[in-house]
Amino acid sequence: MPEGPARGTAATPLLARAQAELATGGVPSPRPDAETLLAHVLGVDRSELLRRTLLGHDVPPEAVRVFEALVARRAAREPLQHLTGRAAFRHLELAVGPGVFVPRPETEQVAQVAVDEAVRVAAARDDAGAVVVDLCTGSGAIALAVATEVPRARVHAVELDRDAHAWAERNVTAVSDGAPAPVVHLVRGDARTALRDLDGTADVVVSNPPYVPPDAVPTDPEVAGHDPAVALYGLGPDGLEVPRGVTAAAARLLRAGGLYVMEHAEVQAAAARAMVAAVRDEDGLPVFAGPETRTDLTGRPRMVVARRRGPEA
């Protein structure tokens, strides 16, 4: 007598086993990660997965095998975003994977400062929107957030690393689908020297550059083992060598009164303010007025913000 189709596995015990395996592996959020992975395998969102789980739906055998393999990789501390190929950032879902820094929630507040300033500038102009530059764009997260949240913003983004630039290009293409032109002008180049044609015209320069000091090796296996070193370490004994170059570029790009915002580590708040305050023009005068530290959504000091000096400041 021919056998019937193989029966699936109930989602509830499947998720419970996955949660236990992830917890044993030290994953900080085992249940949400298990649900995210199973939803990914089934091609649904988490709310639909939970609905199916409550209704007692079985998971097909092939999906179970794929899910269990992903759970094993996550338990070995491979980033969740690498396993799903997606990372949430504000209202966006970005493609990410090996070779690009996975955008973090704390950077969303850095993007908010840039968005707020771009909105303010665009509202004050009748003829043109705000010019925004994102240096060291990585996956394109900040640039795309500004471009999609501020319709009148003209956004430029710069990334030097080949792999990261490829991910940014993929994301810009996806977000721009159906638009007459890319929503972000993406350039592969050195943040210190790129976009010379925009010198003195940018309203906002925003950056989440590499800034980790060389002796501050990240403790999370997902970061230490999978985020590219070129996106983490800022060079120099304090980790601020790359940020100094980015800050000099911001001074070159910004118009008088333009806003600069740069992410940094919690322990770098005072050093980042001093770095911005130290930038001088050809007359030896400070370029930026009153650099200040602002916090992320958890209250941690995570960014320096300053305006370029001038009659509009």
Structure tokens at 290: 């009153």
pLDDT score of 311: 52
pLDDT tens-digit profile, the chain (313 residues):
344 445 678 899 999 999 999 999 999 999 999 999 999 999 999 999 999 998 888 999 999 999 999 999 999 999 999 999 999 999 999 999 999 999 999 999 999 999 999 999 999 987 789 999 999 999 999 999 999 999 999 999 999 999 999 999 999 999 999 888 899 999 999 999 999 999 999 999 999 999 988 877 676 787 877 777 778 777 788 889 999 999 999 999 999 999 999 999 999 999 999 999 999 998 899 999 999 999 998 899 999 999 999 854 4
* CB-based contacts of 94, cutoff 8 Å, min separation 6: 86, 87, 88, 103, 139, 140, 141, 144, 171
CA distance 78 to 71: 10
| 85 touches 96 (CB < 8 A) | yes
pLDDT score of 5: 47
Nearest to 189 by CA among 162, 211, 170: 162
Nearest to 122 by CA among 89, 169, 154, 85: 154
Structure tokens at 243: 């940020």
Nearest to 193 by CA among 241, 276, 249: 249
pLDDT score of 237: 84
Buried-state track 29-44, b at ≥16 Cβ within 10 A, e below 16: ebeebbbbbbbbbbee
Tell me if residue 43 falls in helix, strand or coil: coil
Domain boundaries, the chain: 9-76, 97-308
| 189 touches 160 (CB < 8 A) | yes
Q: Which helix (H) or strand (E) holds 146?
A: helix 141-149
CA distance 173 to 179: 10
CATH architecture of the domain with range 97-308: 3-Layer(aba) Sandwich (3.40)
Tell me how crowded residue 183 is: count the other CB atoms within 10 A of its CB.
21
Q: Residue 284 phi/psi, 5° resolution?
A: 80, 10
CA distance 174 to 238: 37
Q: What angle do CA 215, 267, 285 make, to 5 degrees?
A: 105
